[in-house]
């Protein structure tokens, strides 16, 4: 058994262009827990308030399988461990497991930490022992283990032995600079395991393009845990990509992870959507192009016998074969997702074709439904005739006024005219931005007829410009997350105009909530 340790929320967020709000972090953690990873490193509580807020919230929730893990450093030099505020914050995070990173490389110990090699060993041992005494499962990340081993194997082994002797549950060898090659990793990992007399974990980076290969090499040498990030996010060129490493381990190497990989593609897309980064179409296993066959000869061969041009069955990782000449792709994913929401379809039912056509149409316009489940559910209800709009739009209007000079100000105002069951309602409101003003005006117009929406508010708003690639003007995609204080749900809107895209996502979010509230009170 090999365990999967996800650090998307810590190492992953150190990547350029990757940023998650606290709410995003909770959604990512929930998704990872659902998926079945064994550890979720939530962040570094001593490093920023967003991470501390995450751990406060995480401590209140129950997690299905994953252990939420806080990350930090060994105590500072020449200081008692109980006096180190950074270590205290690790305990305050109230997680079942804690990972601490410590120095292995003498160069770093004496130059960066400016402590003696002996003091460094004491820093490792004290911190591990202290966290163990407080009932935590302790993982010890040996930073720069491989670079250090090259120069001073004896001292490198001493550091991890110090962690183990102090009670660490697992020592994790880190290939921090990402430049080592698999053969070396395998050899050194084998030596470390022999020295400790127990398996270790492996944490690799992808600077040489072999982050995944290095993790696999360590597993061959007997490692029992892989640390990495979803989609390979991380500093510089990124961490070991768990989305690639997991199927390699479970499908190719026959190592049981206890994880159902048929939701792998969905997970990969979800994490990208929340980080607001475009998917890599060439991502191994899960990319759009991973099982796309274009050339006529390949298409013909693959249709006769899939393994002629496919290394695995795409359905094992939730992906699918796309034959670019046909227009039938996307079917199984859409149906699996809809059935997951509780919809049931008879085999070959005509409404299935209608739903697929609508999904295809919206996706070709730039919609993405992986992180916008509420819009997806609304789409299905509309196609099934199960949706009755709670209002008809007559018109809306929003303005942004910016006055210069010393008494300058900015204000946004919106008006909304709607028809609720034959009654015209006309409201106006102001907000911080045009979308905020529209949202307020629309909810004001609806609240008398639908008092339930009083508690609803916007929790998050994300905009992405999508390059249409067709030479026409770029489109805007808006992803809105709404909340009623308990549940959260997300909706998507696409348009050439940011206000219009936002309006679509807003209306979907409100309609979804009204329909859900009506179903609950019925
Ligand atoms: Zn790292």
Give residue 340's Cα distance to chain centre: 20
Rg (CA), the chain: 26
- Give 239 Cα–ligand 1 centroid separation in angstroms: 6
Tell me how far apart the alpha carbons of residues 123 and 118 are, in angstroms, rounded to a whole number.
9
- Give 354 Cα–ligand 1 centroid separation in angstroms: 46
- Give 484 Cα–ligand 1 centroid separation in angstroms: 37
- Give 299 Cα–ligand 1 centroid separation in angstroms: 41
Interior CA angle at 463 toward 47 and 419, to 5°?
A: 130
- Give 433 Cα–ligand 1 centroid separation in angstroms: 38
- Give 71 Cα–ligand 1 centroid separation in angstroms: 11
Angle between helices 85-92 and 117-133 (to 10 degrees): 30
Q: Does residue 265 contact residue 317 with C-beta atoms inside 8 Å?
A: yes
Helix (H) / strand (E) containing 101: strand 97-103
- Give 442 Cα–ligand 1 centroid separation in angstroms: 46
Tell me how far apart the alpha carbons of residues 482 and 389 are, in angstroms, rounded to a whole number.
19
Tell me how far apart the alpha carbons of residues 318 and 133 are, in angstroms, rounded to a whole number.
43
Is residue 291 scored above 70 in pLDDT?
yes
- Give 154 Cα–ligand 1 centroid separation in angstroms: 23
Give residue 342's Cα distance to chain centre: 24
Query: Range with the lowest mean pLDDT among 182-196, 221-235, 403-417?
Result: 403-417
- Give 435 Cα–ligand 1 centroid separation in angstroms: 39
What are 97-138's pLDDT values in tens digits? Answer: 999 999 999 999 998 889 999 999 999 999 999 999 999 999
Q: Within 10 Å of residue 288's Cβ, how many Cβ atoms?
A: 16
Q: Considering only CA atoms, which of 5, 102, 7 is closest in space to residue 51?
A: 7
- Give 227 Cα–ligand 1 centroid separation in angstroms: 8
pLDDT score at 328? 46
Tell me how far apart the alpha carbons of residues 316 and 306 are, in angstroms, rounded to a whole number.
13
- Give 104 Cα–ligand 1 centroid separation in angstroms: 14
- Give 234 Cα–ligand 1 centroid separation in angstroms: 7
What are 304-332's pLDDT values in tens digits? Answer: 777 778 899 999 999 988 765 434 455 66
Give me the count of residues in the chain.
Answer: 522
Tell me how far apart the alpha carbons of residues 442 and 391 are, in angstroms, rounded to a whole number.
10
Q: Does residue 112 contact residue 151 with C-beta atoms inside 8 Å?
A: no
Q: Considering only CA atoms, which of 440, 516, 513, 462 is closest in space to residue 483?
A: 513
Classify residue 411 as left (phi > 0), alpha (psi -120 to 50) or beta.
beta
Interior CA angle at 468 toward 464 and 471, to 5°?
A: 135
pLDDT score at 330? 56
- Give 204 Cα–ligand 1 centroid separation in angstroms: 7
Mean pLDDT of the chain: 91
- Give 79 Cα–ligand 1 centroid separation in angstroms: 26
Pure H helices in 75-144: 85-92, 106-108, 117-133
pLDDT score at 356? 85
- Give 235 Cα–ligand 1 centroid separation in angstroms: 8
pLDDT score at 60? 95
- Give 223 Cα–ligand 1 centroid separation in angstroms: 17
pLDDT score at 227? 98
- Give 11 Cα–ligand 1 centroid separation in angstroms: 6
- Give 171 Cα–ligand 1 centroid separation in angstroms: 14
Q: Which two three-digit tokens encode residue 340?
A: 């997951």
- Give 370 Cα–ligand 1 centroid separation in angstroms: 27
User: Mean of the pLDDT values across residues 176-201?
Assistant: 98
Q: Does residue 519 contact residue 511 with C-beta atoms inside 8 Å?
A: no
Tell me how far apart the alpha carbons of residues 511 and 302 are, in angstroms, rounded to a whole number.
44
- Give 186 Cα–ligand 1 centroid separation in angstroms: 18
- Give 250 Cα–ligand 1 centroid separation in angstroms: 23
State the DSSP code for 75.
Answer: P
The residue whose two tokens read 């303005």 is: 399
Q: Does residue 201 contact residue 230 with C-beta atoms inside 8 Å?
A: no
- Give 351 Cα–ligand 1 centroid separation in angstroms: 48
- Give 236 Cα–ligand 1 centroid separation in angstroms: 10
Angle between helices 373-383 and 498-521 (to 10 degrees): 70
Q: Does residue 144 contact residue 104 with C-beta atoms inside 8 Å?
A: yes
- Give 418 Cα–ligand 1 centroid separation in angstroms: 53
What are 341-400's pLDDT values in tens digits? Answer: 888 887 678 888 888 888 888 888 888 887 888 999 999 999 999 999 999 999 999 998
- Give 500 Cα–ligand 1 centroid separation in angstroms: 41
Burial (CB < 10 A; 0-12, 13-18, 19+), residue 208, is middle
Strand 488-495 versus strand 475-483 pairing type: antiparallel
392 phi, psi to nearest 5 deg: -115, 135
- Give 203 Cα–ligand 1 centroid separation in angstroms: 7
Q: Does residue 497 contact residue 476 with C-beta atoms inside 8 Å?
A: yes
pLDDT score at 140? 98
Tell me how far apart the alpha carbons of residues 196 and 173 are, in angstroms, rounded to a whole number.
12
- Give 515 Cα–ligand 1 centroid separation in angstroms: 45
At residue 468 the predicted structure's pLDDT band, cuts being 50, 70 and 90, is: low
Q: Which two three-digit tokens encode residue 358?
A: 């609508």
- Give 134 Cα–ligand 1 centroid separation in angstroms: 26
- Give 209 Cα–ligand 1 centroid separation in angstroms: 15
User: pTM of this prediction?
Assistant: 0.80
Q: Considering only CA atoms, which of 445, 437, 435 is closest in space to residue 504?
A: 435
Tell me how far apart the alpha carbons of residues 494 and 475 are, in angstroms, rounded to a whole number.
7
User: Mean of the pLDDT values across residues 66-89?
Assistant: 96
- Give 469 Cα–ligand 1 centroid separation in angstroms: 35
pLDDT score at 295? 58
- Give 206 Cα–ligand 1 centroid separation in angstroms: 10
Q: Does residue 177 contact residue 207 with C-beta atoms inside 8 Å?
A: yes
Residues near 197 by Cβ (< 8 Å), separated by ≥ 6? none
Residues near 477 by Cβ (< 8 Å), separated by ≥ 6? 366, 367, 368, 463, 464, 465, 466, 492, 493, 494, 501
- The proportion of the chain whose per-residue pLDDT surpasses 70, expressed as a percent, equals 94
Check the CA dihedral 444-445-451-457 and report its sign. negative
Q: Considering only CA atoms, which of 259, 224, 230, 257 is closest in space to residue 36?
A: 259
User: Mean of the pLDDT values across residues 55-63?
Assistant: 96
- Give 125 Cα–ligand 1 centroid separation in angstroms: 21
């Amino acid at each position: 058994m090999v365990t999967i340790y996800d650090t998307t929320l810590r190492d992953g967020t150190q990547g350029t262009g990757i940023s998650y709000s606290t709410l995003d972090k909770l959604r990512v953690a929930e998704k990872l827990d659902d998926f079945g990873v064994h550890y979720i490193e939530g962040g570094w509580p001593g490093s920023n308030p967003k991470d501390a807020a995450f751990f406060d919230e995480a401590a209140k929730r129950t997690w299905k399988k994953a252990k939420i893990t806080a990350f930090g450093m060994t105590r500072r030099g020449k200081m008692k461990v109980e006096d180190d505020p950074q270590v205290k914050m690790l305990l305050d995070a109230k997680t079942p497991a804690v990972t601490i990173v410590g120095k292995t490389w003498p160069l770093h110990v004496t130059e960066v930490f400016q402590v003696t090699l002996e003091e460094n060993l004491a820093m490792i041992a004290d911190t591990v022992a202290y966290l163990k005494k407080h009932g935590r499962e302790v993982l010890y990340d040996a930073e720069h283990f491989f670079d250090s081993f090259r120069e001073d194997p004896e001292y490198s082994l001493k550091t991890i032995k110090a962690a183990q002797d102090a009670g660490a549950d697992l020592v994790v060898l880190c290939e921090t600079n990402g430049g080592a090659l698999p053969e070396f990793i395998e050899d050194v990992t084998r030596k470390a395991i022999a020295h400790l007399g127990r398996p270790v974990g492996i944490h690799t980076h992808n600077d040489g393009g072999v982050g995944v290969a290095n993790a696999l090499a360590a597993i061959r040498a007997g490692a029992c845990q892989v640390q990495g990030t979803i989609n390979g996010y991380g500093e510089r060129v990124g961490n070991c990509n768990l989305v690639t490493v997991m199927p390699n381990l479970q499908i190719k190497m026959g190592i049981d992870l206890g994880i159902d990989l048929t939701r792998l593609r969905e997970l990969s897309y979800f994490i990208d959507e929340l980080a607001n980064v475009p998917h890599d179409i060439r991502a191994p296993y899960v990319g759009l192009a991973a099982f796309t066959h274009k050339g006529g000869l390949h298409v013909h061969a693959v249709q006769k016998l899939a393994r002629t041009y496919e290394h695995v069955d795409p359905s094992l990782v939730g992906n699918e074969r796309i034959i670019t000449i046909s227009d039938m792709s996307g079917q199984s994913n859409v149906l699996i997702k809809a059935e997951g929401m509780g919809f049931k379809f008879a085999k070959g039912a005509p409404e299935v074709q209608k739903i697929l056509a609508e999904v295809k149409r919206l996706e070709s316009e730039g919609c993405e439904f992986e992180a916008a489940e509420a819009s997806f559910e609304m789409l299905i209800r509309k196609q099934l005739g199960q949706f009755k709009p709670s209002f008809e739009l007559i018109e809306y209007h929003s303005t942004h006024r910016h006055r210069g000079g010393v008494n300058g100000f900015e204000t946004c105002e919106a008006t909304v005219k709607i028809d609720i069951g034959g009654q015209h309602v006309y409201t106006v409101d102001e907000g911080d931005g045009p979308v905020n003003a529209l949202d307020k005006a629309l909810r004001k117009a609806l609240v008398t007829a639908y008092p339930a929406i009083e508690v609803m508010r916007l929790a998050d708003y994300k905009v992405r410009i999508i390059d249409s690639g067709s030479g026409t003007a770029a489109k805007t995609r808006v992803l809105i997350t709404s909340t009623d204080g308990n549940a959260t749900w997300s909706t998507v809107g696409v348009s050439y105009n940011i206000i219009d895209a936002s309006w679509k996502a807003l209306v979907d979010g409100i309609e979804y909530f009204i329909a859900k509230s009506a179903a609950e009170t019925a």
